[in-house]
């Protein structure tokens, strides 16, 4: 059996590696080709995987436009390889901007290959009108949030709710130690553009909080050494704030901090899993926000709030991301144990909606069951 995988970001690379483990446990000898990152390539074989994660992880309209030629060439390459390799299935892992276009191109070419999407694109947030078209293009959707399944099934697309992969990867990272007193965490995201926009706001809010709390300690986590250097450059512009910046320490900080500021993204759900009292921040380029705000059709940006269908975590978006307002929202979470306990109870209820561990195993089973008997 041969599967063609396409993952375009670090998170998709991790999910793809987990999926490979689960698939090989069920079907030893299965082969993999396609696009991914170092984790997928290490398991599938470097010679079989185009490791493009560093180039593929773009953010915002401007980055997409600048790299249009590159993505067009990679889409043509993937389509040609699928036609020549004739895999039993194409498994698209997240990364909808590229992957949905690839699925449409493969279908338009008349290929009979099974096309499976693992980790549903969030079209329910920005364009539900695309779902019927996806139903005509895809053979199976494997989603990780429970509310997604009925949305796709309404259009006739076979859908499986596998559960969230986070429930498999994060338990091993639990520290099992009490939170540190008066420690404020700053988690500004992993991309340089996010850090430039969001980290200064976090530092200003932290300065306000520290001004009335002399014993408050401030710590931040950077995704890489390069990002740590960028964050230290920014922090030097705020000499009144002493901020310890460590690398790849986000999960530890989520468990050690009394409360935190977290940039919108995957980290908000991870913070919820670890029971971190936090507020959500998001700020991007004006054009990106202007266009995005006209597409997004959900009340909240943070997944904990979307899952709860109410504002469990306070959100400070674009022009509303004002340091004084953020500091005011964080004050009770830093000072009041009862407020933290109530907050954590709400987060626990959110995480309970994600089901049980075993997402990649259930996804692997669904993929194999979707293939012809003689594959």
Domain 2-163+358-370 matching CATH 3.40.50.2000: the answer reads yes
Residue 72 has pLDDT above 70, yes or no: yes
A 10 A CB-CB count for 211 gives: 12
Cβ contacts of 228 within 8 Å, gap of 6 or more: 222, 245, 246, 247
| CA dist., res. 2 & res. 13, Å (int) | 18
Q: Considering the chain, what is the average pLDDT of its residues?
A: 91
Tokens 């697309």 belong to residue: 157
A 10 A CB-CB count for 241 gives: 19
HEC sequence for 240-298? CCCEEEEECCHHHHHHHCCEEEEECCHHHHHHHHCCCCEEEEECCCHHHHHHHHCCCCC
Tokens 């850090």 belong to residue: 195
Tokens 């998170």 belong to residue: 11
Predicted local confidence at residue 374, as pLDDT: 47
Whether residue 44 contacts residue 143, with contact meaning beta carbons closer than 8 Å, is answered with: no
A 10 A CB-CB count for 358 gives: 16
Residue 287 burial (C-beta neighbours within 10 Å; 0-12, 13-18, 19+):
exposed
> Considering the domain 175-352 in this protein, what is its CATH number?
3.40.50.2000
Q: Domain segments of the chain: what residues?
A: 2-163+358-370, 175-352
E-strand spans in the chain? 2-7, 31-36, 49-51, 89-93, 114-118, 140-143, 159-161, 183-187, 217-222, 243-247, 259-263, 278-282, 315-317
Predicted local confidence at residue 68, as pLDDT: 79
Return the closest-CA partner of residue 216 out of 234, 240, 199. Answer: 240
Tell me the per-residue pLDDT of 146-192, one tens digit each, with 9 for 90 and over: 999 999 999 999 999 999 999 999 999 999 999 999 999 999 998 88
Cβ contacts of 207 within 8 Å, gap of 6 or more: 238, 240, 241, 323
Tell me the per-residue pLDDT of 256-300, one tens digit each, with 9 for 90 and over: 999 999 998 889 999 999 999 999 999 865 555 555 555 566 678
Classify each residue of 131-160 as buried b or exposed e, where b means 16 or more C-beta atoms within 10 Å of its C-beta: beebbebbbbbbbbbeebbebbeebebebb
Residue 115 DSSP SS3: strand
Residue 59 has pLDDT above 70, yes or no: no
Tell me the per-residue pLDDT of 198-242, one tens digit each, with 9 for 90 and over: 999 999 999 999 999 989 999 999 999 999 999 999 999 998 899
């Amino acid at each position: 059996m041969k599967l063609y995988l396409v993952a375009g970001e670090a998170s998709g690379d991790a999910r793809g590696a987990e999926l490979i483990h689960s698939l090989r446990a069920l079907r030893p000898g299965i082969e993999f080709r396609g696009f991914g990152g170092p984790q997928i390539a290490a398991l599938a074989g470097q010679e079989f995987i185009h490791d493009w994660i560093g180039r593929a992880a773009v953010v915002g309209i401007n980055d997409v436009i600048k790299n249009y030629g590159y993505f067009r060439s990679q889409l043509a390459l993937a389509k040609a390889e699928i036609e020549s390799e004739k895999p039993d299935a194409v498994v698209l892992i997240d990364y909808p901007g590229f992957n949905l276009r690839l699925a449409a191109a493969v279908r338009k070419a008349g290929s009979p290959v099974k096309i499976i999407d693992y980790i549903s694109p969030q079209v329910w947030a920005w364009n539900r009108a695309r779902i019927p078209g996806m139903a005509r293009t895809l053979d199976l959707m494997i989603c990780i949030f429970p509310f997604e399944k009925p949305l796709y099934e309404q259009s006739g697309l076979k859908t499986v709710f596998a559960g969230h992969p986070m429930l498999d990867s994060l338990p091993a990272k639990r520290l099992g130690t009490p939170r540190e007193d008066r420690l404020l965490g700053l988690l500004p995201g992993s991309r340089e553009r996010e850090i430039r926009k969001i980290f200064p706001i976090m530092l200003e809010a932290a300065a306000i909080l520290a001004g009335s709390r002399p014993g408050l300690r401030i710590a931040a986590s950077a995704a890489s050494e390069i990002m740590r250097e960028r964050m230290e450059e920014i922090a030097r512009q705020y000499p009144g704030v002493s901020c310890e910046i460590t690398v790849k320490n986000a999960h530890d900080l989520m468990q050690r901090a009394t409360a935190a500021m977290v940039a919108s993204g995957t980290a908000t759900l991870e913070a919820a899993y670890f029971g971190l009292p936090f507020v959500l921040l998001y700020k991007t380029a004006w054009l990106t926000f202007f266009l995005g705000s006209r597409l997004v059709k959900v009340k909240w940006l943070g997944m904990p709030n979307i899952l709860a269908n109410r504002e469990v975590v306070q959100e400070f978006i674009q022009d509303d991301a004002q340091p004084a307002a953020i500091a005011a929202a964080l004050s009770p979470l830093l000072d009041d144990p009862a407020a933290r306990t109530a907050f954590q109870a709400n987060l626990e209820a959110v995480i309970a909606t994600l089901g049980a561990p075993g997402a990649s195993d259930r996804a692997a089973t669904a993929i194999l069951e979707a293939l012809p008997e003689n594959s």
